[in-house]
A and B are shown apart, each in its own frame.
Chain A
Amino acid sequence: MTLFQISEPGESPLPHATRRAVGIDLGTTNSLVATVRNGSPVVLPDVEGRTLLPSVVHYGERGVDVGHTALAQAASDPGNTIASVKRLMGRGIADLADDRRYPYRLVEGEGMVRLATRSGVKSPVEVSAEILKVLRRRAESSLGGTIDGAVVTVPAYFDDAQRQATKDAAKLAGLPVLRLLNEPTAAAIAYGLDNASEGTYAVFDLGGGTFDISILRLARGVFEVLATSGDSALGGDDFDHRVFCWAIEEAGLPPLAAADARRLLTRSREAKEMLTGHDSAPIAAALSDGTRVDLTLTSTTFTTITGTLVAKTLAPVKRALRDARLEPADIKGVVLVGGATRMPQIRRAVAEFFGQPPLTNLNPDEVVAVGAAIQANKLAGNRERDDDWLLLDVIPLSLGIETMGGLAEKIVPRNSTIPVVRAQDFTTFKDGQTAMALHVVQGEREKVADCRSLARFELRGIPPMVAGAARIRVSFDVDADGLLSVSAREQTTGVEASIVVKPSYGLTDTDIARMLEESFAHAADDAGARALVETRVEAERIVGATESALGADGDLLDAEERAVIEHALAAVRGAATGDDRRALSAAIDALNAATADFAARRMNRSVARALSGRRVDALG
């Protein structure tokens, strides 16, 4: 198997005209970046040859450290060393089951919890962006230039707020996001394309802080996710914590200072990892007051203290199977993903449940980044030999709206294939009612209070009518990233209101723009120059796309229409040679407008071709 190669940093840049596309696995414990080079996916290492970047950010006296150096400071400066920030993405303090578990200080912030650090109050989005920036620079130095597009992975069970926060972090890190991709689906791509498998598979993904289970059908190059479930607050971290609690009780320790807690937690994690290959592991630590902890954790004890966690993974597995209307015996293979699936306790439980040993021939730490890189390469338009595959994913949790009595009315049910557009009509309940408040929620429970609140907005200006006469159509649009936007329209008058759902927990685009400016100012990076480079990349992309469209489907245009497009094309080419970013942006917008109708005609032709059974692969 040659799926994983490690390339040397600064090695031969990509062949000309290949877009620099990367896949990023932003993990709870570790993060990775991968790309496809000469047709093979490679995980990109740092200058010391390490592929895993610990997802740890240290806010120090003299600046920000990320990764191994940050991790090294966890014990000496726990209050400013942020680990497992992924667990905080899109979450308020009230959502965190046990906020005292975190050795750093959490404060309530608008929509999302914040972290009080030496360098000021930071949002989880900003902390994640620090990790992503390091990966972006690693990729840039390896690929020899600006990144054209990135696919960033998220747990399949992430809700809208968590997805939006992840996308914001990527934008903040200066990464052009091609797509958010579900982690188990990414693993399936890496696995499926390498093994040319057909059939129904389960991907069991237990990471550092999140658990996903996805059931996929692979047939004729189509990866169709049938159902997904999980727990976005269950992972290897929780096993470490169980060991940590056991050690405290066993050694009869009083409540520990943050630095001691961090040290003991690290020893606990090391013991857990050692038990993968041994029957017992020592936990030895010297605490700051001179106390010595000297314990031995046996595999049997570990199995006992973590039994409920292992059992907790099986409920979502059953859930996903029920939703897919399948039995364990229908599953052809079970793929294990995530470092925490190395635990023999997990492997045994999975094998027993499915009645077959799980597939473990891929490196569970790297497989997600590899799948994301393969997807990024395809989305960026780099043609490969066997890239004629398609991914159909689902949303993990139902989306709905609050109705009378605090009940949630589901509009898009969980496990609907995305993209999905679904509308439902509502009406006024009072005579003369001129406004309607809409509360968008996500979750499976009947009561709104038990679901996640995603957004609130109002439709105003409804003309006074008798109760029940107005027809208010609420439309939910979920895009291929699994992100929701909602609009409401009164049908008889056309009064309209809409919202991109990123309010309760997200940052506005203005926030992101401001943060980007600030970060560039701090990094002494020239924001203007960078923006110009990015706009030129965009110009190059759109010129290329338009040229190939004209080549493939130019016959759809008459001479006059073609001249208009050629003119707009020439304007972009001209502006791209200059230094005026605004002028270039305007030229790009003009070209987009000039090709709008052409695009629609081309898509109609594609549909017609698909129906007539002739697949034209050279398109687009």
Chain B
Amino acid sequence: MIDFTRNHFELFGLPLRFRIDVPALRRAYRDLQREVHPDRYAGGSEHEKRLALQASARVNEAYRTLEDPVARAEYLLQLAGIDATAETDTRLPIDFLTRQLERREAADEARSAHDERALAAILDDVRRESGALLADMEDVLAGNDREPARMRVRELRFLAKLDDDLREMQLAELDR
């Protein structure tokens, strides 16, 4: 069988760290898909087709994880045996939560007022905060104390969800 035990970084031949060479990731992704994509095995046996499907899906999953910095950070913690976003542990700093709660309220207001500009401004704000949290992620992950990294990833996951929701609100405006 395909060696599914390798981690995503090994799969793409990248060093195990947060800061990655994104163009190198893309190149490795394309090169791997060229080899394992089901299109290459369209004339193969049923077994080969199934293998290609599994391998290609695995490569897609790995790429999706490493391409997204939040998912990448979460994955690095996971490799270190830490489940940062386990449902049993959802603690977040109170000032962080308050800020997000205010943003949600502002977004709901903007939505009822069909104020697309206000929605876009909130989204920009969210992305700025994520960007700031990601800026020194490499150092936070490298620290001996895992707790700050874990909290950081949880905050980022929370912001990513808010980002998704805000984008869906923007899309809903398009359908009006």
Residues of A within 8 A of B (CB): 149, 178-179, 220, 222, 315, 318-319, 322, 375, 378-381, 388, 390-392, 416-422, 444, 477, 479-480, 541-542, 545, 591-593, 595-596, 599-600, 603-604, 606-607, 609-611, 613, 615, 619-620
Once A545-B45, A599-B48 are accepted as A-B contacts, the answer to whether A419 and B56 lie under 8 Å apart by CB is: yes
Once A322-B167, A592-B46, A600-B2 are accepted as A-B contacts, the answer to whether A391 and B174 lie under 8 Å apart by CB is: no
Q: Is A603 in contact with B43, judged by CB distance below 8 angstroms? A: no
The distance from the CB of A77 to the nearest CB of chain B, in whole angstroms, is 40
Docked pose: A451 CA to B61 CA in angstroms: 25
Whether a CB of chain A sits under 8 angstroms from the CB of B47 is yes
Once A420-B61, A592-B45, A603-B51 are accepted as A-B contacts, the answer to whether A322 and B170 lie under 8 Å apart by CB is: yes
Q: Is A607 in contact with B55, judged by CB distance below 8 angstroms? A: yes
Nearest neighbor of A413 in chain B, beta-carbon distance: B164
Provide the main secondary structure of the chain B interface: helix
- The residue that B37 contacts in the complex, of A178, A390, A600, with Cβ under 8 A, is A390
Chain B residues near A418: list those with CB within 8 A: 60
Q: Interface code B41-69, partner A: CB below 8 Å = 1, 0 otherwise?
A: 11111111001111111101101100000
* Stretch in B25-33, B91-99, B139-147 touching the partner: B25-33
Chain A residues near B89: list those with CB within 8 A: none
Given A379-B43, A599-B51, 6 additional A-B pairs, CB 8 A: A322-B170, A417-B64, A479-B38, A545-B45, A596-B47, A607-B36
Once A419-B60, A421-B61, A479-B53 are accepted as A-B contacts, the answer to whether A322 and B171 lie under 8 Å apart by CB is: yes
Q: Is A607 in contact with B2, judged by CB distance below 8 angstroms? A: yes
Q: Is B60 in contact with A603, judged by CB distance below 8 angstroms? A: no
Chain A residues near B171: list those with CB within 8 A: 319, 322
Docked pose: A318 CA to B116 CA in angstroms: 14
Whether a CB of chain A sits under 8 angstroms from the CB of B39 is yes
Chain B residues near A388: list those with CB within 8 A: 34
Q: Is A606 in contact with B36, judged by CB distance below 8 angstroms? A: yes
Q: Is A480 in contact with B39, judged by CB distance below 8 angstroms? A: yes
- The residue that A480 contacts in the complex, of B46, B53, B168, with Cβ under 8 A, is B53
Q: Is A315 in contact with B45, judged by CB distance below 8 angstroms? A: no
Q: Is A390 in contact with B39, judged by CB distance below 8 angstroms? A: yes
Chain B residues near A615: list those with CB within 8 A: 31, 34
Chain A residues near B37: list those with CB within 8 A: 390, 392, 480
Docked pose: A194 CA to B64 CA in angstroms: 30
Once A315-B175, A390-B37 are accepted as A-B contacts, the answer to whether A477 and B57 lie under 8 Å apart by CB is: yes
Nearest neighbor of B30 in chain A, beta-carbon distance: A222
Once A599-B48, A600-B2 are accepted as A-B contacts, the answer to whether A541 and B43 lie under 8 Å apart by CB is: yes
Nearest neighbor of A388 in chain B, beta-carbon distance: B34
Docked pose: A482 CA to B43 CA in angstroms: 18
- The residue that A179 contacts in the complex, of B30, B42, B45, B53, with Cβ under 8 A, is B42
**Residue count of chain B within 8 Å CB distance of chain A:** 44
Nearest neighbor of A217 in chain B, beta-carbon distance: B26
Q: Is A149 in contact with B42, judged by CB distance below 8 angstroms? A: yes
Q: Is A600 in contact with B51, judged by CB distance below 8 angstroms? A: yes
Nearest neighbor of A599 in chain B, beta-carbon distance: B48
Once A222-B30, A322-B170, A599-B48 are accepted as A-B contacts, the answer to whether A611 and B13 lie under 8 Å apart by CB is: yes
Whether a CB of chain A sits under 8 angstroms from the CB of B40 is yes
Chain A residues near B57: list those with CB within 8 A: 419-421, 477
Once A420-B60, A542-B45, A603-B2 are accepted as A-B contacts, the answer to whether A620 and B53 lie under 8 Å apart by CB is: no
Q: Is A620 in contact with B47, judged by CB distance below 8 angstroms? A: no
Q: Is A620 in contact with B41, judged by CB distance below 8 angstroms? A: yes
9 pairs across A/B with beta carbons < 8 Å? A222-B30, A379-B43, A421-B57, A480-B37, A595-B47, A599-B44, A599-B45, A604-B2, A611-B13
Docked pose: A378 CA to B34 CA in angstroms: 13
Q: Is A620 in contact with B38, judged by CB distance below 8 angstroms? A: no
Docked pose: A592 CA to B43 CA in angstroms: 12
Q: Is B30 in contact with A390, judged by CB distance below 8 angstroms? A: yes
- The residue that B42 contacts in the complex, of A178, A220, A592, with Cβ under 8 A, is A178
Nearest neighbor of A544 in chain B, beta-carbon distance: B43
- The residue that B39 contacts in the complex, of A379, A416, A420, A421, with Cβ under 8 A, is A379
Whether a CB of chain A sits under 8 angstroms from the CB of B3 is yes
The distance from the CB of B127 to the nearest CB of chain A, in whole angstroms, is 11
Docked pose: A593 CA to B39 CA in angstroms: 21
Whether a CB of chain A sits under 8 angstroms from the CB of B35 is yes
Docked pose: A609 CA to B36 CA in angstroms: 11
Chain A residues near B31: list those with CB within 8 A: 610-611, 613, 615
Q: Interface code B4-19, partner A: CB below 8 Å = 1, 0 otherwise?
A: 0000000111000000
Whether a CB of chain A sits under 8 angstroms from the CB of B80 is no
Chain B residues near A604: list those with CB within 8 A: 2-3
Docked pose: A63 CA to B72 CA in angstroms: 62
Docked pose: A90 CA to B47 CA in angstroms: 30
Nearest neighbor of B32 in chain A, beta-carbon distance: A610
Docked pose: A606 CA to B36 CA in angstroms: 7
The distance from the CB of B174 to the nearest CB of chain A, in whole angstroms, is 5
Whether a CB of chain A sits under 8 angstroms from the CB of B113 is no
Whether a CB of chain A sits under 8 angstroms from the CB of B132 is no
Docked pose: A50 CA to B38 CA in angstroms: 35
Nearest neighbor of A389 in chain B, beta-carbon distance: B34
Nearest neighbor of B3 in chain A, beta-carbon distance: A604
Chain B residues near A375: list those with CB within 8 A: 39
Chain A residues near B58: list those with CB within 8 A: 421
Which 3 A-B pairs have CB atoms at the shortest separation, nearest pair first?
A: A379-B42, A606-B35, A421-B57
Docked pose: A599 CA to B55 CA in angstroms: 12
Q: Is A392 in contact with B33, judged by CB distance below 8 angstroms? A: yes
Nearest neighbor of A178 in chain B, beta-carbon distance: B42
Output the residue of A391, A591, A611 with the most chain B CB within 10 A.
A611
- The residue that B54 contacts in the complex, of A421, A593, A606, A620, with Cβ under 8 A, is A421
Q: Interface code B141-176, partner A: CB below 8 Å = 1, 0 otherwise?
A: 000000000000000000000000001101100110
Docked pose: A610 CA to B34 CA in angstroms: 8
Once A419-B53, A607-B2, A611-B32 are accepted as A-B contacts, the answer to whether A319 and B45 lie under 8 Å apart by CB is: no
Q: Is B174 in contact with A419, judged by CB distance below 8 angstroms? A: no
Once A420-B61, A611-B13 are accepted as A-B contacts, the answer to whether A179 and B39 lie under 8 Å apart by CB is: yes
Q: Is A607 in contact with B48, judged by CB distance below 8 angstroms? A: no
Chain A residues near B64: list those with CB within 8 A: 416-417
- The residue that A419 contacts in the complex, of B28, B32, B38, with Cβ under 8 A, is B38
Docked pose: A600 CA to B21 CA in angstroms: 30
